[in-house]
Structure 1
Amino acid sequence: MFAFIARQPILDLEKDVFAYELFFRDGKNNCFPMVERDEATNKLIAQKYRTLQLDDISCSKKSFINFETDALKDGLNASLDPENVVVELAAEENKMELLLDVCKQVKNLGYKLALENCRVESKWQSVLPYVDMVKVNTDKCNYENLSRNIQQFLDADVKLIAEKVETHEDFNICRDVGFDYFQGYFFSKPESVSQQNLPTSKLTLVELMGASSSATFDVENINRVIEHDVGLSYMLLRFINNPTINKRYKITSLRHALNYMGEVEIKKFIALLALTNLSDDKPLELLHLSLVRAKFCDLVGIEKNIGSNPPTAFLVGLFSMLDALLDKEMNSLVDKLPLVDEVKVALCGGQNELSVYLMLVQAFESGNWLKVIRIAKLLEIDQKQLHSMFNEAILWGNGVRRSISPHFPEAKA
């Protein structure tokens, strides 16, 4: 259905994903593209580029989709399911009458409705009975004003979503003020940089990550580490027997996996295994984002033929949020890993080809299409091909995430 798309998570008070907001490249202002492509164009996209369905994009969570208010005068796309889609509209005070009419229409069709860029000091009494959620840009928010005006939303039983939440301090403030949901990449930042040594259990995992980062591979040593940890053994077998990765053979051991998959792929999965166990007390979305980045950077690296042993592009994407997972400075963490220099440079904010891959995947995550176009030209890769790679990375990340955590908490109504 969708070829050119990005997503951003919306988290709840427990920092679990409640929904994803979707950004469309072929729609005005990242809105849902209301102009239908012709059948030949749709067929071409389906054949040439990997496309996504809503469930693929949102991992069976709700999808927030932004629409131009004017475009909804003639109704909504019939293919969208009210059970899965939250209609998002801009809170345009100069179009209050139209906004009210569209809100009534959307609610009559059974959709939940969110107002975006809502100024809390404005009077929304006429619209609020039809609205389920209000999004407030906290980057421009006056919290004193919010505290004075929040009662109108509470009285209407409207949930508050804080946008542009970029630090843990922002999250704590918004939570204390009374927000229900939070959008922004605060969860991908270290909470408080600690100088304490890593506990022994995590040092073992860092050792495993180091093994995956080296050009050499001591299978006997890796086997010993994994065999002595039942949890690691179980996770490795679940990873490798995931249908997303391996559809043909039942893998029963690391040695078996090594013979079947080869050294480079096993290095990737050992790195995944270690990272998963390091992130046990962090939001699952942090790991999920790392997975998508890893696969995307790997696909770009393959296209650019940069070499695969060690799998440098994959590791740069996978380890790109290691500082947030361990609440430590990235520089001190990479010193503990036998990473090749180009990976260290990219992870620590230096400039090289691998750091360009990271900038590119971050542009996709935020729907910064101009930056995607600029980097595509720099890398000499067709933009549509890059979109297909990003879609493939999302699907791969979803599949691996399910092998990590088969239980997905139900999204709250």
Structure 2
Amino acid sequence: MEGQGSEVLMVRQPIFDRNLKIISYQLRYQYSEYIEDSLFDPETEGSMLVMHTFTSLFQDGHINKVPVFLPFPSSMLQEGSSLALPRKEIVIEVHPDITVTEEVVSHLRMLSKQGYRIALDGFSMQPHLIPLIKLVNIIKIDFSLMHRAKIKKLVATLNKAKKTALAQNVDDFETLQFCKKVGFKLFQGGFISRPVKVLGKDVPGNSAALMQLLQQLQRPDITPSEIEELIIMDPKLSFKILKVVNSAAYQQNRSIDSMQQAVVILGHDQIRKWATLITLASNPDKPEELARNLLVRGRMCELLAESSESLQQDSAFMVGMISQLDILIDVEMEEILRQIPLDEKIKFAISDYEGELGELLEVVIAFENADWDQVQASAFGKEFFEVAYRHSLHWAEQAMAALVDGE
């Protein structure tokens, strides 16, 4: 892996509007004294990394910039000094455990007058936070701390006061629907990574063709000529593969003009990987963030495997990609693993986190969830995670752009 990394572990998590479009990212980072100096000084590497990497988003066919919700240490809100970070690219997030003093209120008022947006995190009607409501723009309501009846009343009150209510810790689509109904405008939580529950084991009609293609692509005995025939039968898939492998995401030294040429140059495993990737990332009925998650997780597993002599990169990529297939097509993972002829090591890694591939998948998911203790307890060095994640974000944006260009 190329590129120098920061010493700070950081991950971004999406914040959605009512149409499940990403309007911002939540930045999670591993706290240390170094992080304050790194993130909040616009001249430092950590701050530049946030502004250049974590605010970039490919969505609806275009690369855009979205702000990041940046948690501020309480000590910084006591100081009263001006902030030099760009106003449009950050939302100042105030922790609910903050001690509200006259200095804090004065500092937040100053930041608001300077044009910064301010979010109050984890609000559940704590008395000490009430004085801050009039100073903030966004109020994050924690579903794990309040009853739904109280949440409904609180959201109505905040909407009347022209405060943006953000539903925090929304863990499933049923909760998401409730949030929309009671008037939340923004949404954050694990619902995007949870499969929708379906009755029975039948594969939905719009996913049947996808499953059939995956079944063929993952056959251990499939030959390069059979892969080529499968892809050529779908002109759209064939065109997209050629677009992607010629894009910046793959960095080919020469133009690849035919599927036969692609198979010869890239090889059996790489063509199968890209055909699988494009097939999984091309579901128009799901939010773009699902496709992005598939790409980032698969690529990150692959890059971490690259640093380990005992792990196969292609298998690691497939573990990352297939591990979220149930979310993409609303089919139980047990049924997916039964139908698609994957290597047993891949199946056990996905179903039970078994073996080295399972441990790899588990720690990548821990990284996505900002579980820094589990990340640091893993066999992979801290520096590998930071570089692999940053590279994977960039690679996924390039791949998604190539996919759209191939429409």
TM-score, normalised by the number of residues in structure 2: 0.86
The Cα of 1:99 is off from its aligned counterpart by 3.3
The Cα of 1:214 is off from its aligned counterpart by 4.1
Matched, 1:56 2:64: no
The Cα of 1:382 is off from its aligned counterpart by 1.8
The Cα of 1:82 is off from its aligned counterpart by 1.0
The Cα of 1:405 is off from its aligned counterpart by 4.1
* Distance in 1 (alpha carbons) for counterparts of 2:226 and 2:10: 43
Evaluate the alpha carbon distance shift between residue 332 and residue 203 of structure 1 in structure 2; reply closer, same or farther with a 3 A threshold: same
* Distance in 2 (alpha carbons) for counterparts of 1:336 and 1:256: 30
Unmatched runs of 5 consecutive residues or more in structure 1? 408-413
What's 1:172 paired with? 177
Evaluate the alpha carbon distance shift between residue 374 and residue 284 of structure 1 in structure 2; reply closer, same or farther with a 3 A threshold: same
Residues 363, 374 of structure 2: 8 Å contact kept:
yes
Amino acid at match of 2:339: K
The Cα of 1:54 is off from its aligned counterpart by 2.5
What's 1:140 paired with? 145
The Cα of 1:320 is off from its aligned counterpart by 0.8
Evaluate the alpha carbon distance shift between residue 406 and residue 220 of structure 1 in structure 2; reply closer, same or farther with a 3 A threshold: closer
What's 1:12 paired with? 17
The Cα of 1:364 is off from its aligned counterpart by 1.0
Q: What SS does structure 2 have at the residue aligned with 1:117? A: strand
What's 1:335 paired with? 338
Residues 105, 132 of structure 2: 8 Å contact kept:
yes
* Distance in 1 (alpha carbons) for counterparts of 2:259 and 2:101: 63
Amino acid at match of 2:116: Y
Residues 207, 329 of structure 2: 8 Å contact kept:
no
* Distance in 2 (alpha carbons) for counterparts of 1:291 and 1:93: 37
Instruction: Note the 1:278-293 alignment, pairs <5 A.
Output: 279-293=283-297
Evaluate the alpha carbon distance shift between residue 358 and residue 93 of structure 1 in structure 2; reply closer, same or farther with a 3 A threshold: closer
The Cα of 1:203 is off from its aligned counterpart by 3.5
Count matched residues.
Answer: 389
> Aligned match of 1:298 in 283, 302, 320?
302
The Cα of 1:27 is off from its aligned counterpart by 3.8
Matched, 1:373 2:389: no
* Distance in 1 (alpha carbons) for counterparts of 2:224 and 2:268: 9
Root-mean-square deviation (Å):
2.9
Matched, 1:397 2:391: no
* Distance in 1 (alpha carbons) for counterparts of 2:38 and 2:201: 56
What's 1:75 paired with? 81
What's 1:236 paired with? 241
Evaluate the alpha carbon distance shift between residue 70 and residue 239 of structure 1 in structure 2; reply closer, same or farther with a 3 A threshold: same
Amino acid at match of 1:56: T
Evaluate the alpha carbon distance shift between residue 194 and residue 246 of structure 1 in structure 2; reply closer, same or farther with a 3 A threshold: farther
> Aligned match of 1:354 in 334, 354, 357?
357
The Cα of 1:208 is off from its aligned counterpart by 3.4
Residues 17, 187 of structure 2: 8 Å contact kept:
yes
1:91-132 deviation per Cα after TM superposition (whole angstroms, max 9, x unaligned)? 457415333212212212222111111123748675344321
Evaluate the alpha carbon distance shift between residue 328 and residue 202 of structure 1 in structure 2; reply closer, same or farther with a 3 A threshold: closer
Residues 120, 146 of structure 1: 8 Å contact kept:
no
Amino acid at match of 1:109: Q
Q: What SS does structure 2 have at the residue aligned with 1:23? A: strand
* Distance in 2 (alpha carbons) for counterparts of 1:263 and 1:281: 30
Matched, 1:191 2:193: no
* Distance in 2 (alpha carbons) for counterparts of 1:342 and 1:349: 10
The Cα of 1:251 is off from its aligned counterpart by 2.3
The Cα of 1:215 is off from its aligned counterpart by 4.0
Instruction: Note the 1:95-106 alignment, pairs <5 A.
Output: 95-106=100-111
> Aligned match of 1:112 in 117, 128, 147?
117
1:118-173 deviation per Cα after TM superposition (whole angstroms, max 9, x unaligned)? 12374867534432111011111222222333344112211111111111122122
Instruction: Note the 1:216-235 alignment, pairs <5 A.
Output: 216-235=221-240
What's 1:345 paired with? 348
> Aligned match of 1:275 in 275, 280, 290?
280
Q: What's the % identity of the aligned pairs?
A: 23
Q: What SS does structure 1 have at the residue aligned with 2:165? A: strand
Residues 120, 145 of structure 1: 8 Å contact kept:
no
1:309-340 deviation per Cα after TM superposition (whole angstroms, max 9, x unaligned)? 8x211101011111111111101111111100
